[in-house]
A = this chain, B = another copy of it.
Amino acid sequence: MALTVVGSIAFDSVRTPFGERERMLGGSAIHFALAARFFTTVHIVGPVGDDFEEEHLERLSSQGVDVSDVERVAGGETFSWRGHYEVDMNLAHTDDTQLGVFADFEPKLSKASQAADVLFLGNIQPDLQRRVRAQSNGSRLTALDSMNLWIETTRDSLVAAIGEVDCLLFNDSEIRMLTEEPNLARAARSVMEMGPRIVVAKRGEYGAVLFTPEGFFALPGFLLEDVRDPTGAGDSFAGGFLGYLDMQGTDSHSLEALRRGIAYGTVLASFNVEEFGTERVARLTEAEISERYEALRGMTHFEGPD
C-alpha cells in the first residue's frame, strides 16, 4: 500500500478578500500529499530549487511523506505562482507564474515510487505526466489532473496521457472544454471513450460528481461559514479520494469504495479552504477527518418515502 504523486512543489503568493500571504509552501503535489498521508504512504516526485528551505522537507518527512524523490536542482529556482481571488472565490486569477526548475524537469522515479499501487499525475505538462506514467510499474490505479492551459496548448499530448490512465480528475468546466460537450454527463461519457473508466468532475463549492460504467454519484461541497483561500482544494480532494482508495487495496474499484473516496475527498477539500495554503491540512487530525465525514453524511442523508 503506497501512493506516488508527481506535480508541482511551489511557492504560492495569494490574496483573497480575507488576507494575503507571500511565498507559502504550495503546489499540487504538496496539497495532494498532505491530504493523502492520512490514509497511506505517499512518495512525492518533483523538483525544487536552491531557494527551497530544507525545513519544508523535514516537516513533510515528519508528517509521514517520503520526500526522497524530491530533486533539488543546483542553481535553480522553485516553481512559483502568484494569484488572487475576488468575492467569487470559485475563480482563481493568475497574476504571475515562474516555471523555474520545472522548465527542464526530467522525472526519475526511485524503485519505491515506481512500485506504488496508486499513481497520481498532478497538473503538469502532459508529456511529463506520460514519462512518469511510463516509469511506473506497480500501479493498479492511475489518475490524472490537468488544466485549461494544457487543453488549449497541448491537446494531443493531453489526450494521449488521458488514454493511459484509469481515472480522470478534472474541474467540470475543463471536462466540458476538453470534450466540447456542454452536458456534464455526456462529456464524462466522451472522456470514458478516450480511455479512463472513472471520471471525477470537481465543481468547487458545489462539490463533485463521480462517473463510472456502473453508475454515477454526486455530493455537494461541505458547507462552511469561513472560506479563506481555495488554492489547492482540488488537490486536497484528489489526495483524500486516492489516499482512501489506496488504503482499500484491491477493493478500491468497487462503486461503494469510490463513493466513500469522493466523501473523503470532499472532507479534505473542505479543510483545505478554511485557512491559507496548507495551514489547515498540515495540522489536521484523523479525529477531525472522521468527525467531518460523519457530518457530511448527516448533511446529505434523507430517508425513503414514508
Contacts and interface: CB of A to CB of B under 8 A. Distances in A.
Contact of A256 (B219, B293, B294, B303): B303
Contact of A182 (B88, B215, B259): B88
A215 B297 CA distance: 13
Nearest to A186: B225
| Interface size, A (range) | 35 or more
Contacts of A301: 259, 301
A57 B196 CA distance: 51
Contacts of A89: 182
A184 B290 contact: no
Task: Give the oligomeric copy count.
Answer: 2
A206 interface: yes
A262 B215 CA distance: 22
Contacts of A218: 207, 220-221, 223, 299-300
Interface string A213-240: 0011111110111110000000000000
Interface string A177-221: 000001111100100000000000001011101000001111111
Nearest to A223: B185
A305 B297 CA distance: 10
A194 B184 CA distance: 37
Contact of A217 (B259, B293, B300): B300
Contacts of A216: 223, 299
A263 interface: yes
Given A87-B182, A182-B87, A263-B302, A220 B225 contact: no
Contact of A302 (B183, B220, B221, B262): B262
A260 interface: yes
A1 B43 CA distance: 62
Contact of A259 (B226, B263, B297, B302): B302
Interface in A226-281: 226-227, 256, 259-260, 262-263
A304 interface: yes
Interface of A: 17, 87-89, 182-186, 189, 203, 205-207, 209, 215-221, 223-227, 256, 259-260, 262-263, 290, 293-294, 297-306
Given A185-B225, A215-B298, A219-B220, 8 more contacts: A183-B227, A184-B223, A218-B299, A256-B302, A260-B302, A263-B302, A290-B305, A294-B304
20 contacts: A17-B182, A183-B226, A183-B227, A184-B205, A185-B224, A189-B225, A207-B218, A209-B220, A216-B223, A217-B299, A217-B300, A218-B221, A219-B220, A219-B300, A259-B302, A260-B303, A262-B302, A263-B302, A297-B304, A301-B301
CB-based closest 7 A-B pairs: A218-B220, A206-B206, A259-B302, A185-B225, A87-B182, A263-B302, A185-B223
